[in-house]
A and B are shown apart, each in its own frame.
With several copies, the nearest count.
Chain A
Amino acid sequence: MPIDKNLMRLVKIEDVNIETPTVKTIFFKDSLSSVSKPGQFLMVWIPRREELPLSVMISDTKNHAAITIRKNGYGSTSLFNKDIGDRIGIRGPFGNSFSFNKSLKNIIFLGGGTGLVPLVRLLYYIKEYDSKFTFIMGAKTKSELFFTELIYEWAKAKKIDLHIATEDGSLGTKGYPTDILRAFLSVHKDIDMIYTCGPELMMKKVYDIAIINSVRMEASIERYMKCGIGICSSCCINDKLVCVDGTIFNETKIQKLTEFGVSYRNKSGILTKF
Chain B
Amino acid sequence: MDYDIPINIAGLDLKNPVIVASGILGLSQSIFDRLYKIGAGAIVSKSISLLPREGYRNPTIVSVDNMSYINAVGLANPGAESFSTEISKNKGPLLVSLVGSEKSEFSVIVRKFRDHKILGFELNLSCPHVEKMGMEIGDDLKLVYDIIQSIKKETTKPLFVKVGLGKSDILEVAKVAESAGADGITAINTLRAMKIDIETQCPVLENKIGGLSGSAIKPLGIRCVYELSKSLKIPIIGCGGIMTYSDVVEYMMAGASAIQIGSLIGLKGISSIGKIVMGLRSYLEAGNINDIKEIIGIAHR
Contacts and interface: CB of A to CB of B under 8 A. Distances in A.
Interface of A: 4, 6-8, 10, 43, 45, 47-48, 50-52, 74-75, 87, 89, 91, 226-227, 229-234, 236, 238-239, 241, 244, 265-271
A270 B78 CA distance: 5
Nearest to A91: B63
Contacts of B27: 233-234, 236, 265, 269
Contact of A239 (B33, B206, B265): B33
Contacts of B19: none
Contacts of B30: 236, 238-239
Main SS class of interface, A: loop
A75 B46 CA distance: 26
Interface in B183-231: 197, 199-200, 202, 204, 206
A8 B76 contact: no
A161 B24 CA distance: 45
B60 A75 contact: no
Contacts of B28: 233, 236, 238-239, 265, 269
B200 A87 contact: yes
Contacts of A74: 57
Contacts of A43: 59
A230 B200 contact: no
B262 A231 contact: yes
Contacts of A244: 269-270
Interface residues of B, number: 44
Given A47-B200, A239-B33, A267 B54 contact: yes
6 contacts: A10-B199, A45-B59, A51-B59, A75-B58, A226-B73, A236-B31
Interface in B1-39: 23-28, 30-31, 33-34
A229 B266 contact: yes
B58 A269 contact: no
Nearest to B48: A269
A6 B260 CA distance: 22
Contacts of A89: 197, 200, 204
A226 B61 contact: yes
Contacts of A45: 59, 204
A210 to B, nearest CB: 24
Contacts of A268: 52-55, 76-79, 82
B226 to A, nearest CB: 15
Given A4-B63, A231-B262, A267-B54, 6 more contacts: A75-B57, A226-B73, A227-B71, A227-B266, A229-B61, A239-B28
